[in-house]
Structure 1
């Protein structure tokens, strides 16, 4: 799971403007992190970005990884995202 999160988060600094600079990306990340979003809801949210179901299992696994985490860990992920958006590297964009 850690490797998957690292890959997902590695692309974020490439497109940050006061947040990510992309409302859709922020919405998708928040849906990924949120414990209120079920796996089936998450798959429905991600369906426009899923190329004909190829990534369906990966999306399910990603969401389940976040659902297994405590609220403290999820809050820390939100803090990390905030630090990424407000980092010196993102200030350049």
Structure 2
């Protein structure tokens, strides 16, 4: 499960770098950590990036990981993501 999360977090920045726009990345991250967004809504939102039933299942498991976290953990995760994207190293790209 941790590997799935690492892979998803590694792929999303590449989509941003490839020219699809960082606003897309920010929106996906927002929906990922938002506890009011259900797995079905999340799957529908990123449907363009899933091509098979297996990938949809992975997306469901990924979202479920965040649904099981406390609000404090989600807030800390959001703060970590902001720190990463505001860092000097991220601005190089």
For the criterion TM > 0.5, the same-fold answer is: yes
Query: Displacement of 1:70 after TM fit?
Result: 0.3
**CA offset at residue 7 of structure 1?**
2.8
Please provide the CA RMSD for this pair: 2.1
Distance 1:36 1:23 in 2: 20
Closer/same/farther in 2, CA of residues 79 and 13 from structure 1, 3 Å limit: farther
After TM superposition, the runs of 4+ consecutive aligned structure 1 residues lying more than 4 A away are 13-16
Is the contact made by 1:39 and 1:60 (CA closer than 8 Å) also made in structure 2? yes
Q: What is the SS of the residue equivalent to 1:55?
A: helix
Cα 1:45–1:15 change in 2 (3 A) is: closer
TM value normalised by structure 2: 0.80
String of CA shifts for 1:14-61, please: whole Å, max 9, x gaps. Answer: 957xxxx51111111111111010011111111121114341100110
Closer, same or farther: CA 10–48 of 1 in aligned 2, 3 Å: closer
Once residues 53 and 2 of structure 2 are traced to their aligned partners in structure 1, the CA distance between those partners, rounded to angstroms, is: 23
The CA deviation at 1:8 is: 2.8
More deviation in 1-10 or 41-50?
1-10
**Paired residues for 1:1-93 under 5 Å:** 1-11=1-11, 12=13, 15=16, 22-93=22-93
More helix by share: 2
Higher relative contact order (CA 8 A, sep 6+): 1
